[in-house]
């Protein structure tokens, strides 16, 4: 009889957020593949779950996926968990799910806690259209492009140490853009700070927060404010002549009646503003 994989989301902070279905799956599994066996053991001990654990992390993902697929082919049920939240979402698991699909094995995904969705809702920012960017890029040019990319509200993970610099870059792009910094979601010291990019950049300048951070950034300039090809071409010529992109965009915006922020963001998005 062929086994299968059960993907089990775990609490992102408060252990009481685990679902009854996840606990049942962990009890019934022949083996639980987890990112950190010590972290998972804390959850299992809390609810009296006795399960065989094997490590499954970024350093052994490919090898362990092959081993687990063979176990499932032999009839075992494997439960997959990460340290917090949904496996595969900025956590290990992709190699195993891909290997199961290739082998024709069933993959059952259980619903549960998600820092991404919790932050999106708590941000009070538009949720009709949104995108998840994982962990934000470290390089300035890549970060600028990620923040300026259109597509509705942006949700991303960020290191508390890098948060002040990220907010400073966002404020340079558009100081009025709405932002929410969601910290320690579901934990005792949960905090959601909302404001403009400029306000929050000033709030965190030189004072990085502690804990897990989810950054939510409201939509950039509407498409009807997007600059035309002529304005972009003019900005490119000024920059090629030695002008700085931000001041040059302000000058062209004044002459053409377009949005300086939209012009600058479009310029950065095209990869010309490094």
Compute the half-sphere exposure of residue 216: CA atoms within 13 Å on the CB side of its CA. 24
Q: Is the pTM of this model over 0.75?
A: yes
- Residue 260's nearest CA partner among 179, 172, 144 is 172
260 band by pLDDT with thresholds 50, 70 and 90: confident
Burial of 23 (0-12, 13-18, 19+ CB in 10 A): middle
103: number of Cβ within 10 Å = 13
Window from 21-30, 125-134, 255-264 with minimum mean pLDDT: 255-264
* Distance from the Cα of residue 231 to its chain's centroid: 33
pLDDT at position 243, please? 92
The C-alpha atoms of residue 4 and residue 228 are separated, in whole angstroms, by 53
pLDDT in tens, 15-41: 999 999 999 999 999 999 999 999 999
């Amino acid at each position: 009889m062929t086994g299968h994989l059960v993907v089990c989301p775990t609490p992102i902070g408060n252990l009481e957020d685990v679902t009854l279905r996840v606990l049942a799956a962990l009890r019934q599994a022949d083996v639980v593949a987890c990112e950190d066996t010590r972290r998972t053991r804390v959850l299992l001990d809390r609810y009296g779950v006795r399960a065989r654990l094997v490590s499954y992390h970024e350093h052994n993902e490919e090898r362990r996926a092959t081993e687990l697929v063979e176990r499932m082919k032999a009839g075992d049920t494997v439960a997959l968990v990460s340290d917090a939240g949904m496996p595969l979402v900025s956590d290990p698991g992709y190699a195993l799910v891909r290997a199961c699909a290739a082998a024709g094995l069933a993959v059952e995904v259980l619903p549960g806690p998600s820092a991404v969705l919790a932050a999106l809702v708590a941000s009070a920012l538009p949720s009709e259209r949104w995108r998840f960017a994982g962990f934000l890029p470290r390089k300035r040019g890549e970060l600028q492009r990620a923040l300026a990319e259109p597509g509705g509200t942006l949700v991303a993970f960020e290191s508390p140490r890098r948060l002040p610099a990220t907010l400073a870059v966002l404020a340079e792009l558009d100081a009025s853009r709405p932002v929410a910094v969601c910290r320690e979601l579901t934990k005792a010291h949960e905090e959601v700070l909302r404001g403009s990019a400029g306000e929050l950049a000033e709030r965190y300048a030189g004072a990085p927060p502690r804990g897990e951070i989810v950054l939510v950034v409201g939509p950039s300039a509407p498409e009807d404010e997007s600059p035309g090809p002529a304005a972009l071409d003019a900005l490119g010529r000024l920059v090629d002549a030695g002008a700085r992109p931000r001041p040059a965009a302000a000058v062209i915006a004044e002459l053409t009646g377009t949005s300086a922020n939209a012009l600058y963001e479009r310029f950065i998005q095209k990869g010309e503003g490094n």
